[in-house]
Chain A
Amino acid sequence: MADENKGLVAAGASLVWRRQRVLWWVFAVNLAIGLLGAAGARGQLNKLLEHSLAGEGLSKGFDFGMFLELIGRPNADLMRSSGSSFLFSLLFPLFMIFVAGGILAVYRDNRKFTAGDFFAASGAFFWRFVRLALFSMVPFGILAALLMGVDKLSDYVGDRSVSAQTGFYILLTGCAVVMLLVLFVRLWFDIAQVRAVVQDETKMWSNLWKALGISWRQASKLFRVYLCISGVAWVTLAAGLFLWTKLPPTATPVTFLLLEFIILMQLLTRLWQRASSVTWYQRHVASFPADAADFTTATPMELVEPASGTSDLGAEAWPAEPGVSDEPNAPVEAGNGNPAEPDKQ
């Protein structure tokens, strides 16, 4: 099992690497949103500091007192700039909903897409993914409520405890549990998206429940893969922030590169999770029909229903179809998703 997970993690990473154009485009859009979101603040700061020596303390170190004066100035209104940054940041999830179909199609087919192919695939799945995103607000909302409950519980217990750390540890444990549940919900909805793309599912409500069944039964495997990749994201984030504190205060260009590397790694790991889920799904659940010519909206494919007791899906899985393997590394019958096929990039 561990080897298989390792294989899946590596296969996902390999897929992200081979289709890295996706990563660079996603990163470019994220960077553009970041730059646009910061443009208002940059303009305000420029107006205040361009011909003033007052910013020296900020460039030679980070004079927090001066920073407070800057953000506290009524005529600078940097708080309004933070509002516009927030609005810009909302564009990115919308963008990701839009392109998710295209990204999964690229990973599904494992071949080079033209821009037209990519956006056609994106558009084909857009409304389905919007519906999934709306559905996802329910479990994420429940988890947000749970997090608030944990916060209240930690306050309540902490308030009655002699130890100052008790409340913190309750909160920490609660947050960790909620984080794992969030990760599971993410996995569940990722599988639903993968099913939509790989099998061209159109009924998102039933798709969602099927995806839940798969996610639940495969939790021990897929969830560990997700956790492992999330671990990479967290470690790179922590290491990056640590390095940031060690950089000289005047090294703004290097700082910029480091911070962008952190962002790149966050985006990479997210795509890595998606690529891993596509890979797993194709290996274990679905196979492409040999004549799957339309990569934008894949022809509805046969659902692999591994035999009871032999499948990773467990005893409750659907009856097995002839000609479909449930061996983890067995090549699929044909199609663009065949790992045995040479890379066409």
Chain B
Amino acid sequence: MARRSFFLALISLSLTVASFSGQSPFAPKVTGPLSQRVVAYQIDAKYDPDKHTVDATETITYHNLTGQRLDHFPFHLYLNGFQPGSTWVSEAHRDGNFRTSTFDNGWDDKRAGSSEITALEVEGLGDLTKAIKYIAPDDGNASDKTVIDVALPRGVEAGQDVVFKIKFKAKFPEVIARTGYKRTFLLAGQWFPKVGVWWNGAWNCHQFHAKTEFFADFGTYDVKITLPKNYIIGATGVQVADSDNGNGTKTVAFHAEDVHDFAWTADPNFVVKESTFDGSVGAVKIRLLTYNSHETSWQRYLDVMQGSMKRFDEWYGPYPYAQITVVDPPHGALEAGGMEYPTFITGDTVWWAPKGQKLLPEGVTEHEFGHQYWYAMVATNEFENAWLDEGINSYTEVKVVDSLYGKNTSVLNWLGAQMGDSAEQRSGYVGVAETDSLAKPSYQDMSFSSYGGVTYGKTATMLLTLENLVGEQVLRKALHAYFMKYRFTHPTQEDFLRTVNEVAGEDLGWYWQQAVYGTQVLDYKVRKAESTRVDWASKDAPEDKKGETLYATEILLQRVGDFIFPVTAEIKFDNGETVRERWIGVDRWKRFEYLKKAKVLSVEIDPDHQITMDRDYLNNSIAAEPQRKATQKIATYWTFLTQFFAQMLSWLT
């Protein structure tokens, strides 16, 4: 009953907002609710651009769908991660760097952020501000203030609502890790107190970690932001009101449904560019917030958005929202770039970005749009299974950008050099292949490079390699099924693996055990390829004669790594004959022998170059004749560079 009234209230509120603004948060053919709306946030925030602070009131209506009584609630205060001694800062300092933040030169106060709850009241239970307790469930770090726990004097029964009324003050850092200001620009991410997720029978509310991201429940957001009236603003959801307050400020209201986070951005210098994507569920507005000095990238942003949305719509499922906001951060705000929030992403570019490289803005924009599927809608736990969002998204990124810009040129096709996205994903993975498994929480990974290489690169290469077994189309169908089944929920890694098994029609457990749960390294090599005359022992054997002399050819393949995977080897003979052999790859080695009037020319494992998980491509083949062209080419460049540098130095003497 309570649940029903809760939904009625939400629907009523949605209708009120929609009728007020005439704008639905959904694409024309979509009606909500799409998710099990656990929370409803109403926030009224005032932004002070001089102090980079927000003073806000927040009402959180939480519907207890856990099936049990809840007597305490944890909340995230992510901005407190940007303080000396916090787990986030300690990990960033220890494990390498998050983008540009290493703190190697000491702590910089400009990087400090905070989130302070000044009052917390629970409807019917009174002021509980004093009941706020900082907790550190992951590492016990007493200096970390990114999670609070509020014990209620009276528990919330299953099916009942509880309403928290919070006053808080947020102070933004100079842009760092997906949030903050740069000059007049602000990206407000993770800026408000957010309730944890009741998941698998317990509260799931991790501290803010340097290597991993977020996890939250679906719900509705009604957010009013007051700021100077010359500011241009964009946010999650759709804008439903904009009123001039008559004192140099304005208040802009946004409404979003079936999302699990709310981010916004503002800058008086923004330039707005718009486009419309005609998807399978109707038109979606693409709203790009950019800058005059990035003019060369405007069309590139809009084009890659069109291309990406089309591919996702065709391959994986519809984008159901009415709008997607794309933020192009200003120069110097690198850490605000390349981030995803529901219906709101940040790209990245530089004004001089050559068209021949597709990382900026195309690659990053496609990647962040992909997160609308693998994060925003299929809302996996980014703390514990980062590969389910970042990794799967890296795989679909390869598929999308390859289809848009060419398989071998989707990252780079400039000045004679080429690189495809699969090679880029692989390059991140090969150096850290044995460090961490996908299945463990990513914030526990060895370092930032292992987090990046494993979470993004290994997942992408693991799925590209899987295409070898099940086929590209089957894997695409599996991802489509996974998306359609688990969108607007919080699936686990087992849900994903099971879906692929079901669609592929086979139990791929042996593969998952190695690729997902294990740290096995896949490496097969050609150990030997040799042709010897059959009559080698004969003292009066005639001279070699092509096409007439009989040779015994021995091919020896070896499994160097501990990852077992079936491989194909292609053997070429000097009479033009080509043979392909399949080896299941279980034993440590396999011998193939041939008796032919031809000598072996070359042997190559994985001749179609599909096993991207193979860590060492160089040992995958043996050629009888020396292959010197590549060496000569690189040596030529190397010689030139040495000469050029030498003559430059001599210019000084």
Contacts and interface: CB of A to CB of B under 8 A. Distances in A.
Interface residues of B, number: 64
Contact of B636 (A51, A81, A167, A255): A255
A158 B618 contact: no
Contact of B423 (A33, A37, A65, A158): A65
Given A34-B643, A65-B423, A50 B631 contact: yes
Interface string A199-242: 00000000000000000000000000000000000000000000
Given A162-B330, A245-B415, A255-B636, A56 B630 contact: yes
Interface string B337-353: 00000000000001110
Most buried by B among A45, A90, A133, A160: A45
B630 A162 contact: no
B636 A256 contact: yes
A33 B642 contact: yes
A299 interface: no
Nearest to B269: A162
B420 A65 contact: yes
A46 B419 contact: no
A288 B424 CA distance: 66
Contact of A46 (B619, B624, B631): B631
B4 interface: no
Contacts of B604: 53
Interface string B617-653: 1111111101111111111111111111111011111
Contacts of B415: 245
Nearest to A237: B644
Contact of B630 (A41, A55, A96, A245): A55
A164 interface: yes
A53 B418 contact: no
B378 interface: no
B359 to A, nearest CB: 12
A93 B636 contact: no
Interface size of A as a range: 35 or more
A319 interface: no
Contact of B618 (A49, A64, A89): A49
A91 B643 CA distance: 11
Contacts of A91: 646
A158 B350 CA distance: 13
A283 B417 CA distance: 50
Contact of A50 (B292, B420, B626, B634): B626
Interface in B483-523: none
B183 interface: yes
Interface stretch (A108-116, A117-125, A259-267, A332-340): A259-267
B398 to A, nearest CB: 12
B631 A164 contact: no
A270 to B, nearest CB: 6
A90 B653 contact: no
Given A64-B412, A259-B636, A46 B628 contact: yes
Contact of B633 (A52, A59, A68): A59
Contacts of A86: 645
Contacts of A345: none
Given A65-B419, A162-B183, A50 B628 contact: yes
A280 B636 CA distance: 38
Interface string B293-304: 110000000000
B416 A55 contact: no
Contacts of A308: none
Contacts of B291: 162, 164
A158 B417 contact: no
Contacts of A49: 618, 627-628, 630-631
B267 to A, nearest CB: 9
Interface string A137-166: 000100000000000000000111011110
Given A41-B634, A62-B416, 16 more contacts: A37-B643, A38-B642, A48-B618, A49-B627, A53-B623, A58-B630, A59-B629, A62-B418, A90-B649, A91-B646, A92-B647, A95-B650, A140-B652, A164-B291, A165-B293, A168-B351
28 contacts: A38-B638, A38-B642, A41-B638, A48-B618, A49-B628, A51-B624, A52-B620, A53-B620, A58-B633, A61-B408, A63-B419, A64-B417, A65-B420, A67-B634, A72-B431, A89-B642, A90-B646, A91-B646, A136-B653, A159-B332, A162-B291, A162-B330, A164-B293, A168-B351, A255-B636, A256-B636, A259-B639, A263-B644
